[in-house]
Structure 1
Amino acid sequence: MKKYIIPIFYLMVILMSSCEDHLEVESPSSFDADYVFSNTADTKKALLGVYSLFAQDPYSSRMSCVWMQNSDVEAIQPSANPDGSRRDIWSLQGSNLTGFGDINKAWQNNYLAIDRANQCIEGIKSSSIAEDKDMKMMLGEAYCLRAYRYFLLTNFWGDVPYFTYAAKAGLKLDIPKTDKNYIYTGCIQDLVDCEGEMYFADEYADGIERMNREFAMGMISRLALFRAGYGMTKEGVMKKADEYLPVASNDSLAVTYTIDGVKKIARTSDEYYQLASDYCQKLIGLKDRSLNPSFKEVFYNECVFKKPVNDDVLYEVANLAENGGDVGWCVGTTVTGGSKGKSTIQVNLTPTYYFSFDDKDSRRDVTVSKVYYKDDNDEYVSNITSLSTGKWNRLWLTIDPGSESSKGTGINWPLMRYSDILLMLSEAENELNGPNSLAKNALARVRKRAFAEEDYSTKVDTYISGLSSKEDFFDAIVNERAWEFGGECLRKFDLVRWNIYGRKIIETKNTLNNIGKAAYELDLSDPDVAQYVDYAAKLYYQKTNGAIRFLNTKYVPEEIPETTVDEDDLENDGNENAYASTNWAKSLYSYTDNLETGERIYESADYTTRCWRGYTDDSGISAVPYLLPISTTTISASMYLDNNGYGLDL
């Protein structure tokens, strides 16, 4: 956690020049800007004004995590029908929400951050001390901040207005949309040009709580993969830039960079994969890191405010202990009561995601919490459709927020980890050259942390050597990114750029249905159902001093307990050897009984029918309606902006 303190005189300057929406502005005097950027101390205060917008609700809960559903990994059940709230985003019916105030606030939050970043960029570049090393570092940070905000805009809204200058009186601030691929290209070029002047995290006092050189290189690779990949076009179909834009002739779609003294130009999709690979390798060559051997500790550190500068995390959003950040409130383990407050979890993980893990993968029980807390030391078993993210838990806090606290835990939010660099390298190399040694070695480094050393030969070496084709290796990367980053809310955008979002939705729904059928011993002649016959219809567990101990966690137990009691009676005298049970796979299918005929009719669970109801193509081929509309407030003030196309007017 970090405190972002912005002096009153600076707030007056920044608020005068940063519009409440991007169509209106008043300009500060040049004297104010000249003064602010004449020294490193005030320049830092200006830069912190950009960072501070991460602490506002549109980012801290909405864009960072709550709106990053529903995918095959993160998903939460919406209401029975569209209700004009965030739940319509979950169900992929966001096109209904042109009047939803949170969408307007998020749009403005991004453009306010971009305008503040633009002010810093212009102020630093024109400063009399522009060549100072600290000023160059802060210039790089401003470019990183701007690039990340455009990353959010293009992934939530698609093509958007693109401003590379600070708002000033007399400038045209109502402009048409720019295709997202031009925006990706421009942001990548900015970062390529500035990253070499930035400090590594261990060279700077604020470490991983400020955007550093590691993050800049990682962001180059991430943006390059998105530029190489798919996105929604105005026609409502998924395409790569190569398929509809003049990538060969338009320099605004090209990035020029130099690696090991060799000048390169990226224009095509393959060339952007090469750029991504080059910058992952550059980071590894300059500042290789060892992954923390404890996967749990990476996230526990964030809950206890430890910030190692050469560990997994490259950059994490710094939140205020007093009132900043919603990690542990809307994302994390469910806590309904206790000395450190309550959560209102709005990010869950799918049952199919839990089942997808190898039984020996240590990440599963760190990532997926099957329990929730009614008090500090009082665990209860979660419903299988309400699995929360175990990576963060407000009960681990080393501060005392109080029993009535909720939001504002102060827990930092990771935007990039070193394992992402390794997996991006692995993905890019596979796209270019198939599963070569570079791709395999990077994947192996991530998997080795997930398994015990005695299992390396089977779970790492044999597993990876069996990935002989480009297609098999790609599927392995898709899976590995799921297992590594569950709950960190990267999945939705990844599925979009891979153009497999629809396929994964249908796979998830079919698997949920098949597991549910197997639990009720239905259609066992179908091999797609029969493969799940040993999955547990129920979980059995005991409880000692408030702590749950499971008899089984995935499969039918070898022996069903002789004595079962209600959960609330588990710790009563005489029940020391008793078990309680809860429906597990049986919760993934439902039935109704016809009282007149006695016939029992089975069907998909509400969870399955509701979570992705905005996507209706059972083939999984057509584009998923993942984009959000621009709010009516913004559209009514613009000559150019509308919600025509992009799958929003279907």
Structure 2
Amino acid sequence: MLDFKKTNIMITRRKYIRLVAALMVAGALSSCEKALEEVTSDKFSETSFYKTKEDAKLAVTAVYSTLNPDDGYSIWGCGLGGIVPQSSATTDELICSWGWPGWPMFNNLNLSETFPGDALFVFYNNLMPAVTNATIVMDRLSGMTIDDKVKQTYIGEVKALRAHYSWILYSYYGPVPLRLDAVAAADPNSPPIARPTKAEMVAQIEKDYMEALAVLPLASALPSSEYGRFTKDACMMGLIKLYMEEKRWDDVIKYGRELQKLGHSLKANYADIFTIENNGDNKEVIFAIPTRIDAKSANLWLAHALPGNYADPSGVALTQWGGYKMPWKTYDKFESNDKRKQRLLTKWTTTDGTTYDARANGVIGAIPMKYGVDPSATGEKHGVNIVVWRYSDVLLSMAEAINELSGPTQEAYDLVKTVRERAGLAAWSQNLTKDQFRKKLMDERLYEFWCEGGIRREDLIRWGTYIERAKADGSQFAKPEFVLWPIPRKAINETNGVIKQNPGYN
């Protein structure tokens, strides 16, 4: 399992190697099999690193470290800086009962350059240097004298990561000025570059994924000790996400069909996907973020969601901050017998043994428990992997793409039926129009992917209902430009205006 645990390393930085030194600090990670010994600062330099296969693996793992889920301001973390809390709170699937003023501002799409805590800049500030680091690492790896197949695989992983990071940036900010030249990337005095066109950035993400796809192993061939690394399967899923955003329906179907050939399937019980027993699964889970409780890479979702009076049947003592909720209006859209509601709590046994009814007691929504309890949990930290992409998304994405191209064909109905059967629900009536099928699929994707991977935000934007949702819920601030978030003013000022702000924020 890919491991984000860090050793205690001190590196003296010089200005010229600022990015590389930072990479080495992040890169000093241990594997699941054996912890690295402590290394002192005089062991690393520009010439002593990037010599061995072990050095190469450390450098690649460092690029993965941006995925580290623990910190509240990390990309796949569970706090307000994470993709899931931030994106979900701008849709109809998540509200928060804490007093921080940013939560209702997310809900209302009341966005601005002065958003509290610079929260709208977290992804930009974290991922822009991550892309730069990826560019540098690929260059360093290409010059190493190690087994060529190993080298190409590692370069492929970094390309896939650069594509993933670039896609997130593109999704939230539109085209951004990526550093793709290794020499310029390593030089902090390189002149600023302007934002590319939309077509240019999409082409670059696609190129990185395609080149990674050509050299990476299939998920089924990946050793369990390497779980969490990019595979061919994950690259295909990344391409599907990109093509869905661009409405390239033929390409969605093409790679969906490829993934259908690779042995993926749905887990029998929906709730079991999000348990520690399912860590390492690559049948339904196509890409996940490995977590562990003894390092700064744990899953803190339950602490953010569970109310303080909740008593888990397992008897495990949990830390429960009780902030995240699903609005009742959204919860009530689910069919009454939908098994996917099992992870949405409306009633629970309390610490004094009584049953607590959230709605009757004025709680603002259902509790999005989502993840199962880790029996080894220590306080807020759980070791349940964070799910990013799943096979059910392949099936529903193909159904949407087929419908957009040809209307609701038998194949489109069957793809949806497979997902609904797992939820204990009947298949749809096969007399829907293209528009009716699309509208039902909008809800089906909510039921399947609530509070997962930022998917709801992507979907609403693709369907043109993202701004409409906020206005329907009473927002007086939402405007069409807010499908994208603002570029940090600091980035604009430091480049003397070479980087331009997104429309609506000037």
| TM-score of the aligned structures, taking structure 2 as reference length | 0.81
Q: Which amino acid aligns with 2:319?
A: K
Q: Matches of residues 157-176 of structure 1 in structure 2 within 5 Å?
A: 157-166=173-182, 167-169=185-187, 172-176=190-194
Is 1:212 the equivalent of 2:231?
yes
Is 1:371 the equivalent of 2:342?
no
In structure 2, C-alpha distance between the alignment counterparts of 1:171 and 1:345, rounded to whole Å? 46
1:221 is matched with 240
Instruction: Sort the Cα spacing of 1:20 and 1:387 in 2 relative to 1 into closer, same or farther, 3 A.
Output: farther
**1:381 positional shift:** 2.5
For the Cα contact (< 8 Å) 2:339–2:424, is it kept in 1? yes
In structure 2, C-alpha distance between the alignment counterparts of 1:353 and 1:418, rounded to whole Å? 24
Q: What runs of 5+ residues in structure 2 fail to find an aligned partner?
A: 23-43
3-state SS of paired residue (2:387): strand
For the Cα contact (< 8 Å) 1:614–1:625, is it kept in 2? no
3-state SS of paired residue (1:291): coil
3-state SS of paired residue (1:398): coil
Is 1:477 the equivalent of 2:493?
no
2:66 is matched with 53
> Identity of counterpart residues, as a percentage?
19
Comparing both structures, which one devotes a greater share of its residues to strand? 1
Is 1:191 the equivalent of 2:191?
no
1:625 is matched with 482
Count of aligned positions: 466
1:486 is matched with 450
Q: Matches of residues 446-595 of structure 1 in structure 2 within 5 Å?
A: 446-451=419-424, 459-460=426-427, 463-467=428-432, 469-488=433-452, 489-505=454-470, 509=473
In structure 1, C-alpha distance between the alignment counterparts of 2:45 and 2:456, rounded to whole Å? 43
1:594 is matched with none
Q: Matches of residues 213-612 of structure 1 in structure 2 within 5 Å?
A: 213-228=232-247, 272-285=248-261, 287-299=262-274, 301=275, 304=276, 306-322=278-294, 323-329=296-302, 332-335=305-308, 340-366=317-343, 368-371=344-347, 375=351, 380-383=356-359, 385-393=364-372, 396-401=373-378, 405-406=379-380, 408-451=381-424, 459-460=426-427, 463-467=428-432, 469-488=433-452, 489-505=454-470, 509=473, 609=474, 612=475
Is 1:634 the equivalent of 2:491?
yes
Q: Which amino acid aligns with 1:411?
A: V
Higher mean C-alpha displacement, 487-496 vs 101-110: 101-110
Q: Report the aligned-residue RMSD.
A: 3.3
1:143 is matched with 159
| TM-score of the aligned structures, taking structure 1 as reference length | 0.65
**1:491 positional shift:** 0.2
3-state SS of paired residue (2:186): coil
Q: Which amino acid aligns with 1:623?
A: P
In structure 2, C-alpha distance between the alignment counterparts of 1:86 and 1:34, rounded to whole Å? 47
For the Cα contact (< 8 Å) 2:264–2:284, is it kept in 1? yes
Instruction: Sort the Cα spacing of 1:416 and 1:98 in 2 relative to 1 into closer, same or farther, 3 A.
Output: same
In structure 1, C-alpha distance between the alignment counterparts of 2:14 and 2:194, rounded to whole Å? 25
For the Cα contact (< 8 Å) 2:267–2:273, is it kept in 1? yes
Deviations 1:108-139 (A, max 9, x none): 2112221222223223333333631x333322
In structure 1, C-alpha distance between the alignment counterparts of 2:376 and 2:125, rounded to whole Å? 33
Deviations 1:508-559 (A, max 9, x none): x4xxxxxxxxxxxxxxxxxxxxxxxxxxxxxxxxxxxxxxxxxxxxxxxxxx
Instruction: Sort the Cα spacing of 1:426 and 1:79 in 2 relative to 1 into closer, same or farther, 3 A.
Output: same
Instruction: Sort the Cα spacing of 1:11 and 1:143 in 2 relative to 1 into closer, same or farther, 3 A.
Output: farther
2:31 is matched with none
Instruction: Sort the Cα spacing of 1:451 and 1:176 in 2 relative to 1 into closer, same or farther, 3 A.
Output: same
Instruction: Sort the Cα spacing of 1:37 and 1:7 in 2 relative to 1 into closer, same or farther, 3 A.
Output: farther
Instruction: Sort the Cα spacing of 1:642 and 1:348 in 2 relative to 1 into closer, same or farther, 3 A.
Output: farther
**1:362 positional shift:** 1.4
Instruction: Sort the Cα spacing of 1:97 and 1:79 in 2 relative to 1 into closer, same or farther, 3 A.
Output: farther
Deviations 1:135-181 (A, max 9, x none): 33322221221122122222222232222234222763522222344
Q: What runs of 5+ residues in structure 1 fail to find an aligned partner?
A: 22-30, 229-271, 453-458, 510-608, 616-621
Deviations 1:479-527 (A, max 9, x none): 21111001213101221122121334455x4xxxxxxxxxxxxxxxxxx
Q: Tell which structure's C-alpha radius of gyration is larger.
A: 1
For the Cα contact (< 8 Å) 2:92–2:469, is it kept in 1? no
In structure 2, C-alpha distance between the alignment counterparts of 1:192 and 1:400, rounded to whole Å? 39
For the Cα contact (< 8 Å) 2:485–2:502, is it kept in 1? no
Q: Which amino acid aligns with 1:197?
A: V
**1:207 positional shift:** 5.1
2:25 is matched with none
Instruction: Sort the Cα spacing of 1:104 and 1:435 in 2 relative to 1 into closer, same or farther, 3 A.
Output: closer
For the Cα contact (< 8 Å) 2:96–2:103, is it kept in 1? no
In structure 2, C-alpha distance between the alignment counterparts of 1:14 and 1:143, rounded to whole Å? 27
**1:644 positional shift:** 4.2
In structure 1, C-alpha distance between the alignment counterparts of 2:357 and 2:436, rounded to whole Å? 36
3-state SS of paired residue (1:497): helix
Q: 2:114 aligns with which of 83, 97, 115?
A: 97
Q: 2:54 aligns with which of 41, 44, 47?
A: 41
For the Cα contact (< 8 Å) 2:306–2:367, is it kept in 1? yes
Q: Which amino acid aligns with 2:347?
A: V
For the Cα contact (< 8 Å) 2:266–2:284, is it kept in 1? yes
Is 1:200 the equivalent of 2:176?
no
Q: Which amino acid aligns with 2:437?
A: F
3-state SS of paired residue (1:388): strand
In structure 2, C-alpha distance between the alignment counterparts of 1:376 and 1:162, rounded to whole Å? 55
In structure 1, C-alpha distance between the alignment counterparts of 2:14 and 2:328, rounded to whole Å? 46
